[in-house]
Amino acid sequence: MTLRTRFAPSPTGYMHIGNLRTALYAYLVAKKDPDGVFILRIEDTDQGRLVEGATDIIYDTMAKCGLKHDEGPDVGGDVGPYVQSERVKDGIYLDYAKKLIRRGGAHYCFCDESVLQAQREAAGDEFKYDDPCRKLSIEECEARIAAGAQYVIRQSIPETGTTSFDDEVFGRITVENSTLDEQVLIKSDSFPTYNFANVIDDHLMGITDVVRGMEYLSSTPKYNLIYEAFGWDIPRYIHCPPVMKDEHSKLSKRNGDASFQDLIAKGYLPEAILNYIALLGWAPSENREIYTLEELVQAFDVKRIGTSGAIFDPEKLTWLNGMWLRNMPLDEYHQLVKPYIEKGLKGTFDTRKIAAILQPRANTLNEITEMVSFLENFSSYSNDLYNHKKMKTNPEIALESLKAAREVLAQTDDYSEENLHALLMELPQKLGRKNGQVLFPLRLAITGLQSTPGGAIELASIFGKEETLRRLDFSIAQLEQ
């Protein structure tokens, strides 16, 4: 039997990080097997929560992350449709619910909401619905329905005994059937609830490995009772611990936490986001942290998924994103950051040279625009900046160095870094100074800033002869006053 997993989100307009991680794990579990199949199914049975365009966000996120599904609404497959509302139209769920009734796994229920409410209030914390409709015969129920009665279909739970299952990450879970409630399977609008549609579809779509959040751990016994009533094989379960905002709450939109799209908008790479979230709740057996998706497929092992919630740490994501940025070939990096550089600059610059000084310094794409703006902002500054203890310089030494540098810089037209380096590095020795006593003042003189990305040589090369000399002259004049 081929290994099949699925990612089954609700189109609620937002891809949160915990959800994305579940998708990732489901993908990894499937792809770990050379023949494994990864399916996308849209769970839109709650008509009240549909959000326009939400499905596109799901497709877009999966595509950006490289989580390519083998079957789904947009790519087809043999066990479609892959959108639950379409399956409702086909009558799939109601048919199966009726079959389940005949098999004794469910029953019709005509109770009014108010009856439940009354019982609920009377029972307080002890509430467990004791459904009088359970005792009704099928014939009687069908007669009432024919007469136009409103109904739902509820699961029938054995009053005694226990139900157990083995979860791949949490181990064996056992619960008393008496603690399980008789949940609604088919709502009065004839739509299935998640609890039912999920089980039916997982079976019909041949899902062998169910990967989902651990909030479903306590309802899994109920699902298994349905599988058993139908005589179906129970899948392997892989319940994942939550991704937390802090020790008390999960990462969520309600808390204003970043979604995948928010992180992209903040300048993080999909690869880095995926890499980071893979590490939340799972640890590789080797001592390593940087993984491409393909490498994750190789390294992933369900047995190494943890059991306690992991707090999402934006700082570590930022670091990891920086690593991804730094590890790129310069040309690729240049193409990637070019728009961000140009956004921060009015004039034209050699963006490849700028990219080179940015690469070891920028951790996110967005900070680049700001990092680069200093290139065009040159105005008077305090000469006091030339006093630098560590560089052993002061305005006097600086002036001497700048004059010498000015001479050299005026004599050449070749402003390549190589040439500038060759020329300027002769100066310290000639002047009997340390490198820092010449180059630090020079960098300061052409930027007016205490610190900048890049050094004097790199920056002079970026500015070019005319601009470099213009700034240098300004600074020399300022020092001579």
Partner RNA sequence: GGCGCGUUGGUGAAGCGGCUUAACACACCGCCCUCUCAAGGCGGCAUUCACGGGUUCGAAUCCCGUACGCGUCACCA
Instruction: Please say which residue, 36 or 72, places its beta carbon nearer to RNA.
Output: 72
Letters for 51-90 (x = contact with RNA by CB under 7 A, - = none) are ----------------------------------------
Are 363 and 322 within 8 A, CB to CB? yes
Please state, in angstroms and rounded to a whole number, the distance separating the CA atoms of residues 8 and 82: 9
Please state, in angstroms and rounded to a whole number, the distance separating the CA atoms of residues 53 and 417: 50
The structure tokens listed for 434 are 């340390």
98 is catalytic: no
- 431 binds RNA, rule: CB under 7 A: no
DSSP state of 52: T
CA torsion sign for 432, 437, 443, 444 is: negative
**Nearest by Cα to 376 from 415, 341, 345, 338:** 345
Among 174, 348, 377, 379, binds RNA (CB under 7 A): 174
Residues from 284 through 343 that contact RNA (CB under 7 A): 285, 287, 289, 304, 306-311, 313, 315-316, 319, 322-323, 326
Nearest approach, Cβ of residue 453 and RNA (Å): 4
Catalytic: which of 68, 98, 253, 403? Answer: 253
- 452 binds RNA, rule: CB under 7 A: yes
- Give me the helices (H) in 189-231, please: 194-204, 220-230
Size of the site for RNA (CB under 7 A): 88
Please state, in angstroms and rounded to a whole number, the distance separating the CA atoms of residues 386 and 392: 9
The structure tokens listed for 242 are 């939550």
- 464 binds RNA, rule: CB under 7 A: no
Instruction: Please say which residue, 45 or 208, places its beta carbon nearer to RNA.
Output: 45
- 139 binds RNA, rule: CB under 7 A: no
CA torsion sign for 139, 141, 144, 146 is: negative
Nearest approach, Cβ of residue 182 and RNA (Å): 9
Instruction: Please say which residue, 3 or 385, places its beta carbon nearer to RNA.
Output: 385
Other Cβ atoms closer than 10 A to 288: 9
- 116 binds RNA, rule: CB under 7 A: yes
Nearest approach, Cβ of residue 456 and RNA (Å): 4
Nearest approach, Cβ of residue 34 and RNA (Å): 25
- 413 binds RNA, rule: CB under 7 A: no
Among 103, 187, 352, 465, binds RNA (CB under 7 A): 187
- 195 binds RNA, rule: CB under 7 A: yes
Please state, in angstroms and rounded to a whole number, the distance separating the CA atoms of residues 338 and 420: 25
Instruction: Could you list the beta-strand ranges (E) of 4-52.
Output: 4-7, 37-40
- 135 binds RNA, rule: CB under 7 A: no
- 430 binds RNA, rule: CB under 7 A: no
The structure tokens listed for 248 are 């008390």
Among 14, 191, 300, 340, binds RNA (CB under 7 A): 191
The structure tokens listed for 198 are 């999920």
Number of H helices, E strands in the chain: 20, 11
The structure tokens listed for 313 are 């740490």
How buried is 134 (Cβ within 10 angstroms: 0-12 exposed, 13-18 middle, 19+ buried)?
middle
Nearest approach, Cβ of residue 405 and RNA (Å): 11
- 183 binds RNA, rule: CB under 7 A: yes
Instruction: Please say which residue, 3 or 141, places its beta carbon nearer to RNA.
Output: 141
Binding piece for RNA, criterion CB under 7 A, among 60-68, 107-115, 140-148, 261-269: 107-115
Please state, in angstroms and rounded to a whole number, the distance separating the CA atoms of residues 397 and 405: 12
- 391 binds RNA, rule: CB under 7 A: yes
Among 134, 266, 361, 403, binds RNA (CB under 7 A): 361
Nearest approach, Cβ of residue 35 and RNA (Å): 28
Nearest approach, Cβ of residue 428 and RNA (Å): 8
Among 73, 105, 270, 281, binds RNA (CB under 7 A): 281
Are 269 and 200 within 8 A, CB to CB? no
Are 210 and 142 within 8 A, CB to CB? no
Binding piece for RNA, criterion CB under 7 A, among 227-235, 407-415, 433-441, 466-474: 433-441
Are 71 and 40 within 8 A, CB to CB? yes
Q: Which residues contact 311 (CB under 8 A, 6 or more apart)?
A: 244, 245, 246, 247
Among 120, 392, 430, 470, binds RNA (CB under 7 A): 120
Instruction: Please say which residue, 3 or 479, places its beta carbon nearer to RNA.
Output: 479
162: enclosing H helix or E strand: strand 162-167
Q: Which residues are catalytic?
A: 253
